[in-house]
Amino acid sequence: MPPIHATRFTTFPSPNCRLGPAMQSLARIHLFVALFLLLGVPDVSLAQDHEGLSVHRICVQGGTGEKLFLRYWSPAVNTGLPEPVCVFKAPEFGGLPIRSLRVLREPSAGGAMVAVEFDDSARTWIEKMSRANVGNIVAVVVSGRIVSMPMITRPYSDNKLLIVVASEEEATRLVAALTPFVAAVKK
């Protein structure tokens, strides 16, 4: 194994740099973009318009509209997209009263699920959201953090969402975060 050497910090571009002018310009642009992403993206959640639970399309799948940059609920949520994740501000679904919350074990996936039941008016919204996003990954957002990023495989009509999480502890945390949004809904 080769020895590990201490990193030497130099000015950019280095005086010993042998890049042509075009490559130096490109390298400067990459450095600027990296610094912008590191320093320019606020470390706050911008999804306060929809308290509780909302579902947003992620930006990498195309589309137009105002964008948010959100962080993951926990490291286990990361599906390979670096933080912060770009989502469209206008939710596909959200802001509806929650009727009940339940933690369900998911032994086949080695984790757990949270069953979020909404009032009956949610059925139309969930169907519209799932139909419009077949084949797309969506971000399930709770209190400004991404808790799950499922791919919608088919449209469905129900007043429930099942959110898969890594463990029962994560499911319990998620239920605790959503409990203040449970409404006194008549059945």
Q: Quick one: average pLDDT of 63-83?
A: 81
C-beta of residue 141 within 8 angstroms of C-beta of residue 147: yes
pLDDT at 1: 47
At 176, which amino acid appears?
Answer: A
pLDDT at 117: 93
Who has greater pLDDT, 60 or 186? 60
Quote the mean pLDDT of the chain.
75
pLDDT at 9: 37
What are the pLDDT digits (tens) for 27-69?
Answer: 555 444 443 444 444 333 344 445 678 999 998 877 788 999 9
Who has greater pLDDT, 50 or 21? 21
Who has greater pLDDT, 155 or 7? 155
C-beta of residue 69 within 8 angstroms of C-beta of residue 46: yes
Q: Where are the domains of the chain?
A: 11-40, 53-181
DSSP states along 113-182: EEEEEE-TTHHHHHHHHHHHTBT-BEEEEETTEEEE--BB-S----SEEEEEESSHHHHHHHHHHHGGGB
What is the CATH code for 53-181? 3.30.1360.200
- Contacts of residue 61, defined as CB under 8 A and 6 or more positions apart, other chains included, come to 136, 137
Instruction: Provide the pLDDT confidence category of residue 173 given band limits of 50, 70 and 90.
Output: confident
Whether pTM exceeds 0.75: no
At 48, which amino acid appears?
Answer: Q
C-beta of residue 20 within 8 angstroms of C-beta of residue 9: no
